[in-house]
Amino acid sequence: MRDSKVIAPDLLAWYDRHARTLPWRVPPGGPPADPYRVWLSEVMLQQTTVAAVKAYFLRFTALWPTVQDLAAAEDARVMAEWAGLGYYARARNLLACARAVAARGGFPDTREGLAALPGIGPYTSAAIASIAFGRTETVVDGNVERVVARLFAVDTPLPRARPQLTALAGQLTPTERPGDYAQAMMDLGATICTPRSPACVICPVQTECEARRQGIAAELPRKLAKAPKPEREGVAWVARQGQALLLEHRPAKGLLGGTLAFPSARWDGRDLPPPGPAQWREIGQVRHVFTHFSLTLRVMSGQLTGNPERGELVPLRQIDREALPGLMRKVWDMAQGEIAA
């Protein structure tokens, strides 16, 4: 049976030579990791790629170098800096967690204590406890699931296989250097044990891989076929008045919660009228894919002829496209001809 005595030494030796250089990571043999940077990176990396996160992480840590700095930040500023990273509930939980940590004087150093904080689930609590505090915890993300499924040739498809994969991963987790081991497993999945065409010939644990022995590594992990995403429709209004556009902050909870946006309706459960009097005309449609549905949003443009009924008029020179969520950036881009006219 494969165990940490077989896997961990070879994997850690490989990690010592080939660890990825990431802005939130302490290299092998370095000082203890800062729990703030580990936590911030793990929250940002949820359902988001490393490439997409790097710039956001560097900007956040430049603006707010400590958890106390982030806790003291204005909500609107944090939401604006998060814009484009998606899954906006993470940003709201980020602030709530930072304020809870600042109030208690620092991060708890156990998985149980970390899991009690806002927005920290089983994976994130295990990652912080392992990487920042050296706790022997089993850290299982998508990369680790793939590595373990291949090591043990687990044929059960995801997501049904997750409890089994977590249990098997726990058998491999060593008591020595658990944080480095967790990151080594992630790196192995990201760089060698990749979803397609795994580079088995250079894998440091190839001799222990049952899927390689059976010649089925590239077929694992199996996944259940995904159901087609539901389709939704909605409308967004680009309302102009002189050199200003009408924008609003979306409700704190729900889709794109708390972000600055063009007034919109129908796609998010809100059946609202136009935001003010105007001769509205459709200028096109934008498509956007969310986790659970696909959206077609009709974009209406008009010159306000009276006071708006919601939102606020913001001078064009003060509007930062990058502070808008991805869906609203598409609306902005479509409306450029109207805005410039």
Residues involved in catalysis = 42
Instruction: Count CB atoms within 10 A of the CB of residue 181.
Output: 25
Q: Which of 219, 215, 134 is nearest to 174 (CA)?
A: 134
The span from the CA of 43 to the CA of 97, in Å, is 11
* Omega prior to 159 cis, within 30 of 0: yes
The DSSP letter of residue 109 is S
Distance, first Cα to last Cα, the chain: 70
The structure tokens 């429709």 sit at 233
Beta strands in 250-334 (DSSP E): 260-261, 264-265, 281-289, 294-303, 312-315
Amino acid at 26: V
